[in-house]
Copies of this chain bind each other. A is one copy, B any other.
């Protein structure tokens, strides 16, 4: 089994046996049995940009530096990796401080905003929409054989999801190969951790595919577009605005992908249906987890 799923492609993959990521708690089942049930950890992590407290996210707790970095880039608060001076993670304080060599645009903007109307929460969203103005993602043709293989490999990869449930996964892929598989209790955190890893390792996004277990909402589309990745695939369904943004930025958007089924709602002209879905098996019941009904 291990061979057939070609784990060798992964640079990072889940570590479901890691003791810090799950916990056993006593519970009662529907049959009245007392059992130890495995559940995922969830901890607050506060992200600072220099001396500015930006947000507290709830996370499973792995890769805090990638999470902080990816979050700041995905919110448009950081624009260039060269500015990063140091990233300090304090386990006991549950904080990550990202330090830049000079004050960022965002901090100046934040100070102005605070002076005028009190709080900056509401600006984040507007800033993200501003950032994709005029953005067109690079052209990438996608073979459906890649997508079927990716879905199969990801389903069979040992994960915290299979170990304890209640977690989302996101996988960075290239053609039919899975590269980095991140999981988190916050579905956006998994994407942010991938972004942090990409920025740290100077990974080019233009030939990559992002696979997620989460829904294709506007924020997921925005993040993928800001990361420069031209293809987003999900087991789950779509929102109307997510589809609209995807079409605007030339993002190929494939959802409700389970077994042989999928729906492509943006970029179908870049999709090469090179295999017949007839030969693709339906998923085993145990993998039928998140995501909406099939179309």
Chain A residues proximal to chain B, CB less than 8 Å: 22-23, 25-32, 35, 37, 39-44, 46, 51-56, 58, 110-111, 114, 117-122, 124-126, 144, 161-162, 164-166, 185, 215-219, 236-243, 256, 260-265, 268, 271, 273, 277, 286, 288-293, 295
Contacts and interface: CB of A to CB of B under 8 A. Distances in A.
16 contacts: A25-B243, A27-B265, A28-B263, A28-B264, A29-B261, A31-B277, A42-B240, A42-B241, A46-B122, A53-B119, A58-B241, A119-B120, A162-B293, A164-B237, A286-B293, A288-B288
Contacts of A166: 215-217, 236-239, 292
A52 B263 contact: no
A25 to B, nearest CB: 5
Contacts of A118: 51-53, 110-111, 114, 120
A268 B28 contact: yes
B52 A165 contact: no
Contacts of A264: 27-29
Contact of A56 (B39, B122, B260): B122
Contact of A240 (B23, B124, B161, B260): B23
A227 to B, nearest CB: 19
Given A265-B27, A295-B35, A185 B239 contact: yes
A175 to B, nearest CB: 19
A41 B119 contact: no
A106 to B, nearest CB: 11
A23 B162 CA distance: 34
A31 B271 CA distance: 12
A229 B23 CA distance: 26
A80 to B, nearest CB: 22
Given A32-B273, A39-B237, A165-B236, 15 more contacts: A22-B240, A25-B265, A29-B261, A30-B260, A30-B261, A30-B262, A35-B263, A52-B117, A53-B122, A58-B219, A110-B118, A114-B119, A119-B119, A165-B292, A290-B290
Given A53-B117, A217-B58, A37 B293 contact: no
A29 B125 CA distance: 32
A242 B25 CA distance: 12
A31 B29 CA distance: 42
Nearest to A147: B30
A76 B117 CA distance: 20
A115 B117 CA distance: 13
Nearest to A46: B122
